[in-house]
Amino acid sequence: MTDKKGIAIFEDDNISRALIRLAIPSVTISLITIIYEMIHQVFIAQLNDTAMLASTSCTVTLVLIITQIGEAVGVGGSTYLGRQLGAGNSVRSKEIVRACITLDLFLSLILMAICLLVMKPYIYWQTSDPAVIRYATSYGYIAIISSIFQVFQLTLCSLFRGAGDVRFPLKVMLMSVVITIALDPLFMFVCHLGIAGAALSTSVAALVSCVLCFYHLLSGKTYLSWKPGGFGIDEESVRAIFSVGSSVYLRNFMASFSMAVFSKQVFVYGTEFSAGCNVGKYAIYFVNFFIQGVCNGLLPFASYAYGADDYPRLYQAAMWSFKVLTAYCIMAMLFMAGCAEWFISFFTRDPVAISYGTGYLKAYNYSLLLYSVYYIITTLLQASGRGKASMVVSLSRQGLIYVPLLIVLPMLFQENGILFSQPVADWLTVLAAIFMSRDLLQTIWERRKTPSRDEV
């Protein structure tokens, strides 16, 4: 596809309409992911086997180490793609796609081999229960081997969005969820595969999604193109992809690390406190899905506008997103202030856990309004290719600031130190984000009325 139909949304569309068109699929995908995870867990819970339930968490970190490559390469490649398309360098798109697919294959195979080698020692390190070890091993082998399909799916869907194709990734996600929901009961209960059936259904869905993505790439219905067997990398593409992608990968890795520290810290104050905080943390995902969806829609638009030197559209897009997210955060704050206990009760019936979970959500209210600032700045840093600044900001919220606070504050304030570690980290991270992005923000502000390159 050589015309500009796919990228017209970045150049000609009304800004608010374009951002809505880009955001709706991203918000929907985020919501579908949450619903999918809930339904998947419900099916696993129906097994009524605590060993099977426990086994799913034993290898999840290893699987994430592999699949997060897809998101990292996808975000790095799509932002670079957007900047190149905006600058009029459409011929670079083939090299970018080729580099992304090659990196996915190369890095995934290396990490798969490593994870398969360390899987059993890693499982034994976590538990000595023979039943859990047996189930975790069967679940882990399937999940790790099939993770490469998820890597390709995540990367290609990001590239499609970067080229203005926002509908196809949504269709792929819907197809994946439908397949998983249909196959979960079939494999787990009808075929009596138990927890291995849960891993197998996810693997089949990932395989089908991966095949659909490559078929779409080869169909000529997208702005992007790739020839089967066309592997290779060029230094410029790899440098640009890693510049942003490495920050995404390290952010996700740090999130996993901070979650481990969080779990250890909350258990100090008892099972009920741990359950309440974990439920509260899970409930926050329902607040964040809209914010992340809007920023996922802003990212390709901002990347293209930055590449085209179209600062007026970049400024207007950032301000529109900021206003929308600020309004949403205010509504979320009001909701959690009045309905936190009712919301937590959907996830647990234990009155003590509900009390702690409610406190956790209400503590989040002290920093929730900052989310619009944090996510907009992070998105603009990624869109402009400022990988180092984006990495520092992302790592600060998830680890560099958060983890030390998670250790120190409980020493001073006990349970309240746990509850307020993330809000305090959010405030400090936003201050750091503003400082590190000051040059970019100043440039956008000063050139907000400057004609784009195409208008000069």
Residue 36 belongs to a domain: no
* Residues 375 and 277 placed together within one structural domain of the fold: yes
Higher pLDDT, 228 or 152: 152
pLDDT one-digit tens code per residue, 132-191? 788 889 999 999 999 999 999 999 998 998 887 878 888 898 888 889 888 988 998 888
* Residues 220 and 271 placed together within one structural domain of the fold: no
What is 310-326 written as a DSSP string?
-HHHHHHHHHHHHHHHH
Residue 116 belongs to a domain: yes
* Residues 199 and 284 placed together within one structural domain of the fold: no
Residue 32 belongs to a domain: no
Question: Which residue type, as a one-letter code, is found at position 74?
Answer: G
pLDDT of residue 38: 66
Residue 161 belongs to a domain: yes
Higher pLDDT, 292 or 154: 154
pLDDT of residue 282: 67
Longest dimension (CA), the chain: 70
* Residues 380 and 440 placed together within one structural domain of the fold: yes
Rounded Cα gap, residues 75 and 162, in angstroms: 9
* Residues 267 and 416 placed together within one structural domain of the fold: yes
pLDDT one-digit tens code per residue, 352-379? 777 887 888 888 888 888 888 888 998 8
* Residues 59 and 191 placed together within one structural domain of the fold: yes
* Residues 192 and 298 placed together within one structural domain of the fold: no
Tell me what the mean pLDDT of segment 11-31 comes to.
78
Tell which of 189, 218, 233 closes a domain.
233
Rounded Cα gap, residues 156 and 137, in angstroms: 30
What is 339-396 written as a DSSP string?
HHHHHHTTT---HHHHHHHHHHHHHHTTTGGGHHHHHHHHHHHHHTT-HHHHHHHHHI
pLDDT of residue 41: 62
Residue 25 belongs to a domain: no
List CB contacts of 216: < 8 A, sequence separation 6 or more.
156, 160, 168, 222
* Residues 130 and 228 placed together within one structural domain of the fold: yes
* Residues 227 and 272 placed together within one structural domain of the fold: no
* Residues 178 and 325 placed together within one structural domain of the fold: no
Tell which of 233, 249, 279 closes a domain.
233
* Residues 330 and 185 placed together within one structural domain of the fold: no
pLDDT one-digit tens code per residue, 103-136? 999 999 999 999 999 999 988 876 777 887 888 8
The DSSP symbol for 407 reads: H
Written as six digits, the tokens of 57 are 């968490």
Give the residue numbers spanning the domain of 407. 261-446
Q: Is the pTM of this model over 0.85?
A: no
What is 86-120 written as a DSSP string?
HTT-TTHHHHHHHHHHHHHHHHHHHHHHHHHHHHH
pLDDT of residue 3: 41
The structural domain count of the chain equals 2
* Residues 436 and 291 placed together within one structural domain of the fold: yes
Rounded Cα gap, residues 194 and 190, in angstroms: 9
